[in-house]
Amino acid sequence: MSRIQGRFHPLLTKAAEECNFLERVISSAIFELNTITILVKYTTFSLLIAMLLLGCNNLQDSKAGNERQDTSKIVPVKIDPIKQANNKLLGIWSDGSSENATFIIKSDSVYYVDQFKSYKYVLNDDSIKIIYPDWIYAAKVIFKNDTLILESEDGTSEFLKFKK
């Protein structure tokens, strides 16, 4: 039995030394991770406090600015009727024949949902011209609440605006 212990004793000693070394390395790594964790928490907390303080300071500045606003320098803005009509015109419209949209009017085109095609249009005062490949549709544009009324030589058409 002593011969077996004698043969393996140097190997066991070497393994024990390596285990002690690994234990020290792991212990050191855990200590460093704990230190890093504490630093991250401290930094996060500090940044949160700084953002809150800056946010409160900006809020106080904006409140103070609102109280000191000079209204004598306010100039009335003229609203361009074409732009105002264009803003009302933008959106999703339905002729009411189904639950689906008939067309979508974008800032530069009219998109027909069933055809998957867009056509350019031009607004001029209270009229619209939609430019199709083989002809131009021209109509007078009238708004009545959420209803778009188009009066053309072909007749009158009404479209309801979809709510968002």
User: How does residue 23 score in pLDDT terms, banded at 50, 70 and 90?
Assistant: confident
Residue 77: per-residue pLDDT: 43
Which residues touch 156 (CB under 8 Å, ≥6 apart)? Answer: 149, 150
- Among residues 164, 161, 154, 150, the alpha carbon closest in space to that of 104 is found at 161
Instruction: Compute the residue count for the chain.
Output: 164
What CATH number does the domain located at 81-161 have? 2.40.128.280
Instruction: Tell me how far the alpha carbon of residue 60 is from its chain's centroid.
Output: 27
Residues linked to residue 139 through DSSP beta bridges, in sequence order: 128
What's the DSSP call for residue 76? P
pLDDT tens digits, 90-103:
999 999 888 889 99
Q: Which of 13-22, 77-86, 139-148 has the lowest mean pLDDT?
A: 77-86
For the chain, how big is the Rg over CA atoms in Å?
38
Residue 84: per-residue pLDDT: 53
Neighbours of 148 (CB within 10 A): 20
pLDDT tens digits, 49-92:
777 777 766 555 555 555 555 545 544 444 454 455 557 889 99
